[in-house]
Chain A
């Protein structure tokens, strides 16, 4: 229970015979075995009572526990979806639609928040008083107001855009209205396995070429990379031509009530994305600032004495060292952003929580829906953590004994 209870434990003396079974039992129980037992029994008791209460209530209400409802028809429509979805599809598919929407927000949010946050963090340390002052105000205002309020603000901003019939249409192909942003989209027609196979082979060949050259120690510059990119595009073009598939540009057009065609980014998605990015960028800016300031000033001075320019000092000397401080904190920012995306429910974006709340409400399986939400966020955040930890391993200080 107390810290001293752990540290004052007798450690096995090196070289002495292996500790017996008794040692392990004592180790496990700690210094207060009776208390441990009481707490354990208490905990089991609480969960037992809660569980039996739940089962009883469900039985009384006549609710069948289980996940069978996921294969029943959902019957409600969802406003935006990355995969095809109709009201006649199942609750399970609806949940996947919600999950994909959440992932889309989380991934694009983390990416954009990093770009904005890092730039703001560096700007905060700028010698230009106006710039650093502005950034400071930005950070203070964003960090000290509730995220939900900010989301309502962005939602109001996106809704204040003109109606579709009076849409802002600067260059003829881009529509900005209170129905969102519509831009031309590339549509593939008659896509077949052959197309995919040929393009796959082309890209694999280019990649293999690159790897072989890299093994030989050849440096790749911007020219080589653009050449390879061009080759890849040509390869895909060839694949489309050979397999009879075609690419067409679909332009957004005002039709009836809405702007139809093209790729549409809804105001709800935009409001949520802007809200989350702006909010996280303030935190990330502070993380980046503290990371940079954690690098000893001697590093700046020695880099400057080598004749490096300020931009290169930042990029080559300071940031690589600052990253060791920044990355672990950044992980928690990403996790926050992912979890905060559940506020989407308030501004009408059909994310995981919104879809599953409706599912719970229409099917009556509230606990199951809750379990799916919990497990999905857990899986999502654990994967973010895993990726970030892997990256952290790569950049952490080397040449020291592991701590």
Chain B
């Protein structure tokens, strides 16, 4: 066998091919700039969500719906003035934080609890809290349990990678009681564990448990204990290092809260366009000086409320009394009505 016969190309061709391949790879890795650049270049925002109907779930036609999802749409309106330029992907609680770190998502709207560890050690920035929650316990009524401390010696299902996993350990450490955790990543398996009696209780953010309870075969056999084991302020999370992106997230959320405080809704917003109140003029962009100064579309707040409504409307539509979920507003109403929602001034 002669060697020449087995040489399909000369060495020049091979080097050229190698260089082209190397160049392609280089350009692929070279752009690791700030998040906002990537979003504009891509033309969509990549949002990581969870899977609880009411908060985030695809509807019959595959379109994502829910409370957190609406804030993703609001962001797309701020950046692109188009509520559909956003891509939702569900991620398990265990996988979502590394996925955000690695840049797979531009933002997590999956009910991430704000904690100091996540801010400093995990390198995340948090936007304003959009849902004030606390950790609850969902138990089978037949056990006759009325409070968390009755669960001494019980087996409790926790979802891995959540603050719930840490809080429940703290709760039992504090009371010097014992429990056996069953740590489950998959959210369907998590619910099945309670249904099959593998665990005596599930622990997770109370709102989330209330949503999942409706998915059980016999929801009336289970009770969400009134006790709250922790504070769970749920906020949008982004990777640290892009201040401008953080501000866009902040003011997008603030716009929905401020609109409710002003009493501006989806339906009556156009009547405010003629308002002479300078604060409302700045907010809706009828006075364009503010928008120009911050480099955003001066009408971004108008566009958000016109398309999606204010915070209260989003809440009622997705998880409030007007929805199958039927949550009370609780802490999640404007400070003017005794809640915790408070937007800094648009000035």
A contact residues vs B (CB 8 Å cutoff):
2, 4-5, 7-8, 31-32, 34-35, 38-39, 41-42, 45-46, 49-50, 53, 56-58, 60-64, 75-79, 87-88, 152, 155-156, 159-160, 163, 178-179, 255-258, 260, 267-268, 345-348, 350, 354, 357-358, 360-364, 366
Known A257-B151, A346-B186, A363-B121; further 15 A-B contacts with Cβ < 8 A: A5-B6, A8-B1, A32-B11, A35-B15, A38-B22, A60-B123, A75-B166, A77-B172, A178-B196, A258-B154, A346-B185, A354-B160, A357-B94, A361-B97, A362-B117
Interface pair B160/A364, CB less than 8 Å apart:
no
Q: Which residues of A lie under 8 Å from residue B116 when comparing CB positions?
A: none
Secondary structure class of chain A's binding surface, majority of residues: helix
Interface pair B153/A61, CB less than 8 Å apart:
no
Question: Closest B-chain residue to A345, C-beta based?
Answer: B185
Interface pair A348/B193, CB less than 8 Å apart:
yes
CB distance from A101 to the nearest CB of B (A): 12
CB distance from A66 to the nearest CB of B (A): 12
Q: Given A39-B18, A42-B21, A357-B160, A346–B189 Cβ distance below 8 Å?
A: yes
CB distance from B292 to the nearest CB of A (A): 29
Question: Closest A-chain residue to B21, C-beta based?
Answer: A42
Q: Which residues of A lie under 8 Å from residue B198 when comparing CB positions?
A: 159, 178-179, 267
Interface pair A77/B25, CB less than 8 Å apart:
no
Q: Which residues of A lie under 8 Å from residue B155 when comparing CB positions?
A: 179, 257-258
Interface pair A361/B98, CB less than 8 Å apart:
yes
Interface pair A38/B15, CB less than 8 Å apart:
yes
Q: Given A76-B166, A357-B161, A45–B22 Cβ distance below 8 Å?
A: yes
Question: Closest B-chain residue to A257, C-beta based?
Answer: B154
Query: Within the assembled complex, what's the spacing in Å between the Cα atoms of A260 and B178?
Result: 12
Interface pair A62/B153, CB less than 8 Å apart:
no
Q: Which residues of B lie under 8 Å from residue A361 when comparing CB positions?
A: 93-94, 97-98, 160-161
**Is residue B143 within 8 Å, beta carbon to beta carbon, of the partner chain?**
yes
Q: Which residues of B lie under 8 Å from residue A63 when comparing CB positions?
A: 101, 121-123
Query: Within the assembled complex, what's the spacing in Å between the Cα atoms of A135 and B154?
Result: 42
Interface pair B181/A79, CB less than 8 Å apart:
yes
Interface pair B14/A38, CB less than 8 Å apart:
yes
Interface pair A366/B120, CB less than 8 Å apart:
no
Q: Which residues of A lie under 8 Å from residue B165 when comparing CB positions?
A: 76-77, 358, 362
Q: Given A45-B26, A358-B94, A75–B11 Cβ distance below 8 Å?
A: no
Q: Which residues of B lie under 8 Å from residue A60 when comparing CB positions?
A: 123, 239-241
Question: Closest A-chain residue to B168, C-beta based?
Answer: A77
Interface pair A257/B200, CB less than 8 Å apart:
yes
Q: Which of B103, B118, B168, B183 lies at the interface centre, i.e. has the most chain A CB atoms within 10 A of its CB? A: B183
Interface pair B123/A61, CB less than 8 Å apart:
yes
Q: How many B residues are at the interface, by size bracket? A: 35 or more
Interface pair A178/B197, CB less than 8 Å apart:
yes
Q: Which residues of B lie under 8 Å from residue A76 when comparing CB positions?
A: 165-166, 169, 181, 183
Interface pair A57/B32, CB less than 8 Å apart:
yes
Q: Which residues of A lie under 8 Å from residue B186 when comparing CB positions?
A: 346
Partner of B161, one of A5, A347, A358: A358
Q: Given A42-B22, A364-B122, A31–B153 Cβ distance below 8 Å?
A: no
Query: Within the assembled complex, what's the spacing in Å between the Cα atoms of A159 and B102?
Result: 36
A-B contact pairs, 14 of them (CB 8 A): A4-B5, A42-B19, A45-B22, A60-B240, A62-B240, A64-B121, A76-B183, A79-B181, A88-B173, A156-B196, A178-B198, A256-B154, A347-B189, A362-B161
Q: Which residues of B lie under 8 Å from residue A46 when comparing CB positions?
A: 22, 25, 29
Question: Closest B-chain residue to A69, C-beta based?
Answer: B121
Query: Within the assembled complex, what's the spacing in Å between the Cα atoms of A155 and B192?
Result: 10
Q: Which residues of B lie under 8 Å from residue A49 when comparing CB positions?
A: 25-26, 29-30
Q: Given A5-B6, A268-B182, A364–B168 Cβ distance below 8 Å?
A: no
Interface pair A78/B97, CB less than 8 Å apart:
no
Query: Within the assembled complex, what's the spacing in Å between the Cα atoms of A11 and B298?
Result: 78
Q: Which residues of B lie under 8 Å from residue A45 when comparing CB positions?
A: 22, 25-26
Query: Within the assembled complex, what's the spacing in Å between the Cα atoms of A269 and B101?
Result: 32
Q: Which residues of A lie under 8 Å from residue B32 when comparing CB positions?
A: 53, 56-57
Q: Kindly supply a per-residue 1/0 record for chain B positions 152-194, scoring 1 wherever the CB is within 8 Å of any chain A CB and 0 otherwise.
A: 1111001011000110111011000001111111100100110
Question: Closest B-chain residue to A163, C-beta based?
Answer: B197
**Is residue B294 within 8 Å, beta carbon to beta carbon, of the partner chain?**
no
Interface pair A34/B122, CB less than 8 Å apart:
no
Query: Within the assembled complex, what's the spacing in Å between the Cα atoms of A57 and B123?
Result: 10
Partner of A159, one of B7, B120, B158, B193: B193
Query: Within the assembled complex, what's the spacing in Å between the Cα atoms of A286 and B158?
Result: 40
**Is residue B3 within 8 Å, beta carbon to beta carbon, of the partner chain?**
yes
Question: Closest A-chain residue to B118, C-beta based?
Answer: A364
Question: Closest B-chain residue to A179, C-beta based?
Answer: B155
CB distance from B199 to the nearest CB of A (A): 9
Q: Which residues of A lie under 8 Å from residue B11 when comparing CB positions?
A: 32, 34-35
Partner of B196, one of A42, A160, A256, A362: A160
Q: Which residues of B lie under 8 Å from residue A257 when comparing CB positions?
A: 143, 151, 153-155, 200
CB distance from A38 to the nearest CB of B (A): 4
Interface pair B240/A61, CB less than 8 Å apart:
yes
Query: Within the assembled complex, what's the spacing in Å between the Cα atoms of A53 and B28?
Result: 11
CB distance from A175 to the nearest CB of B (A): 14
Shortest beta-carbon contacts, A-B, top 3: A61-B123, A364-B122, A60-B241
